[in-house]
């Protein structure tokens, strides 16, 4: 019975995650559907990059990575810890910088940089797991946020390219 309950909880959590992701993607799509050649038009995307849900999730990812790496061995301070932290900061930073650029093409370019940094984070999380660094819960949280950010970035980039 305990196994069945945890399976139900797992399915419920997956359903909630999917519903949230779909809602976020709809919000981002709706925000971008009337976009012009100006990527950062305040009438299309809000008053600030801080209004973008993808940027907000990227910030949550960075916080999760910092919490995760706080338990890494001291010997990794200038290794994997530093790499993970820098890559996670780069995700949100590139989203913000792209938002501030003057054309849709530049915005897409910086979203691509954010996606690349996010792929770095995902790779480094796999390495951290293989080395047994951090707790499973902290790695899972960071991985889930990274996957969510990835889906949102792809959806926004695809919409902007149309």
Residue-wise pLDDT for 108-120, tens only, equals 999 999 999 999 9
Domain of 77: which CATH number? 1.20.1440.60
| Mean pLDDT of the 18-36 span | 51
- Residue 38's pLDDT is 42
DSSP category for residue 79: T
Domain that holds residue 154: 2-161
Lowest-confidence range among 16-20, 60-64, 134-138, 158-162?
Answer: 16-20
Q: Is 142 exposed, middle or buried (CB count within 10 Å of its CB: 0-12, 13-18, 19+)? A: buried
Give the count of beta carbons closer than 10 Å to the beta carbon of residue 126: 12
Burial 102-122 (b: 16+ CB within 10 A, else e): eebebbbbbbebbbebbebbb
Whether 55 has a pLDDT exceeding 50, the answer reads yes
**Count: domains in the chain:** 1
| SS3 call for 77 | coil
Answer yes or no: is pLDDT of 11 > 50.
Answer: yes
Taking each helix axis as running N to C, give the angle between helix 136-161 and helix 104-131, from 0 to 180 degrees, rounded to the nearest 10: 160
- Residues of 42-56 as b/e, b for ≥16 C-beta within 10 angstroms? eeebeeebeebbbbb
Q: Return the structure tokens found at 146.
A: 């990274």
Please tell me the total number of residues recorded for the chain in this structure.
162
At 77, is the pLDDT very low, low, confident or very high (cuts 50, 70, 90)? very high
Q: Can you read off the two tokens belonging to residue 29? A: 């799509």
How crowded is residue 26: how many other Cβ atoms within 10 Å of its Cβ?
Answer: 11
Instruction: Indicate the pLDDT class of residue 42, thresholds 50, 70 and 90.
Output: very low
- pLDDT at position 156 is 95
Query: Looking at residue 1, what is its pLDDT?
Result: 42
Q: What does the alpha-carbon distance between residue 87 and residue 62 come to, in Å, rounded to a whole number?
A: 9
The number of helix segments (H) and strand segments (E) in the chain equals 6, 0
């Amino acid at each position: 019975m305990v196994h069945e309950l945890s399976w139900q909880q797992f399915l419920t959590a997956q359903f909630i995650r999917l519903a949230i992701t779909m809602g976020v993607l709809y919000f981002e799509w709706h925000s971008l559907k009337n976009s012009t050649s100006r990527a950062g038009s305040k009438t299309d995307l809000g008053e600030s990059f801080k209004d973008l849900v993808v940027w907000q999730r990227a910030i949550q990812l960075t916080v999760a990575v910092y919490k995760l790496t706080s338990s890494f061995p001291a010997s990794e301070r200038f290794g994997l810890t530093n790499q993970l932290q820098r890559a996670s900061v780069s995700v949100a930073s590139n989203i913000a910088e792209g938002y501030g650029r003057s054309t849709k093409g530049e915005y897409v370019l910086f979203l691509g940089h954010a996606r690349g940094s996010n792929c770095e984070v995902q790779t480094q999380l796999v390495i951290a797991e293989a080395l047994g660094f951090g707790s499973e819960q902290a790695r899972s949280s960071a991985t889930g946020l990274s996957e969510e950010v990835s889906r949102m970035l792809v959806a926004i980039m695809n919409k902007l390219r149309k």
